[in-house]
Structure 1
Amino acid sequence: MSNNIELRNTANTELTYAKSIINLILDSGFIDNENTLNTLAVALLSVIRAHESLIKINLGK
């Protein structure tokens, strides 16, 4: 049970990071450069890590 709470908190944190990164890019107005693509890649990795945490919860790990 405690592990599921920790995994859920990890997922929420990663999704918060991703949302913040995406909002920062959208607010800046700079979308057509390599730095933006790298930053979006970091956001995507955060979403993937969140998804992995949720999978572990669903599998009961």
Structure 2
Amino acid sequence: MDGAAAPRSRSRRAPRPLDLVDRDFTASRPDQLWVADMTYVRTWSVWAYVAFVLDVYS
């Protein structure tokens, strides 16, 4: 990944998306609500991006 750009600084971040669940992370059955997050970690040579997708019921 030569030439990969570093993540944006706080002052240049995009606006946050709407909170579609009003911070209510409960589900009464599987496949009712899924959440996701993406983060990055600097390694010795590149930035590694990691994504998580979870079923809230689990």
TM-score by structure 1 length? 0.29
Larger C-alpha radius of gyration, 1 or 2? Answer: 2
Q: Which has the higher strand share?
A: 2
Report 1 or 2 for greater relative contact order, CA contacts < 8 Å, sequence distance ≥ 6.
1
Higher helix residue share:
1
